């Protein structure tokens, strides 16, 4: 009961601070990404992500080797625990990387504009034809423009903190493009903000960059084998 009361009080304090920060920073970020080349986005995104986590009561600790941008593009595969995840990662990626996001996010005021101009690819998870079209767009961006992508194969945030099953879409992309895969493991963000609870829990979030999985390593794997192999890399750290 005491812990629950503490989380409630802390959340009542942190949420308004967080909200004010977003109201201020998102228009500035939107203006920035409209004006500058994509290769410079991370110069703003990294400190913005750091403050997003810090004002949410989270200290982030990183381990593993962050891939050299010169060896990209990369397909970053993550476990998805909470709304902190992308900002935890955003602190450390030193090049332009975008993502796939459910199309509903593009309807949110301001946030949807940022997602659109940043280059995030919308996906309709309930429409197979449209979803496949989104994946093909990602493949085109990788092959033509050498863009790196961040994908959470679980498809949604974990409801219990455990690693969910992986969907195949990300691994079709990998096989069709030959892109280098980087598993990223996040621990602690579920405890920081659970999907089923409005309250925040100040603490520490750990992020680990696993070794790069080159195309040579997975070229002979089937889609299912590659999916299970990458999931195993993440599961070793999550569970």
The class of domain 2-238 in CATH terms is: alpha beta
Which tens digits make up the pLDDT trace of 15-49? 999 999 999 999 999 999 999 999 999 999 999 99
Which two three-digit tokens encode residue 68? 């050299």
Which tens digits make up the pLDDT trace of 201-226? 999 999 999 999 999 999 999 999 99
Mean pLDDT on 86-93: 95
What is residue 238's predicted lDDT score, i.e. its pLDDT? 76
What is residue 118's predicted lDDT score, i.e. its pLDDT? 96
> How far apart are the two ends of the chain, measured CA to CA in Å?
27
Which tens digits make up the pLDDT trace of 162-200? 899 999 999 999 999 999 999 999 999 999 999 889 999
Mean pLDDT on 57-86: 94
Band (88; pLDDT cuts 50, 70, 90): very high
What is residue 239's predicted lDDT score, i.e. its pLDDT? 62
- The answer to whether the predicted template modeling score (pTM) of the entire model surpasses 0.85 is yes
What is residue 160's predicted lDDT score, i.e. its pLDDT? 85
What is residue 55's predicted lDDT score, i.e. its pLDDT? 95
What is residue 87's predicted lDDT score, i.e. its pLDDT? 95
Which tens digits make up the pLDDT trace of 101-123? 988 989 998 999 999 999 999 99
């Amino acid at each position: 009961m005491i812990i629950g009361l503490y989380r409630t009080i802390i959340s009542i304090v942190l949420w308004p601070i967080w909200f004010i920060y977003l109201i201020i920073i998102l228009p500035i970020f939107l203006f920035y990404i409209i004006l500058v080349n994509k290769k410079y986005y991370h110069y703003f995104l990294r400190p913005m992500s750091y403050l997003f986590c810090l004002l949410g009561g989270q200290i982030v600790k990183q381990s593993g080797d962050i891939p050299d941008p010169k060896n990209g593009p990369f397909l970053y595969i993550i476990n998805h625990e909470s709304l902190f995840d992308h900002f935890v990662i955003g602190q450390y990626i030193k090049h332009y990387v975008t993502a796939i996001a459910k199309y509903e996010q593009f309807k949110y005021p301001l946030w949807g504009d940022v997602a659109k101009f940043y280059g995030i690819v919308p996906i309709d998870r309930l429409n197979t034809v449209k979803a496949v079209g989104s994946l093909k767009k990602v493949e085109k961006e990788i092959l033509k423009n050498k863009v790196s992508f961040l994908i959470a194969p679980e498809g949604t945030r974990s409801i219990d903190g455990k690693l969910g099953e992986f969907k195949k879409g990300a691994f079709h992309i990998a096989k069709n493009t030959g892109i280098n895969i980087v598993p990223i493991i996040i621990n602690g963000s579920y405890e920081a903000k659970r999907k089923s609870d409005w309250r925040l829990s100040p603490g520490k979030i750990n992020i680990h960059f696993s070794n790069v999985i080159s195309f040579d390593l997975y070229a002979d794997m089937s889609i299912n084998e590659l999916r299970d192999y990458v999931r195993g890399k993440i599961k070793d750290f999550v569970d």
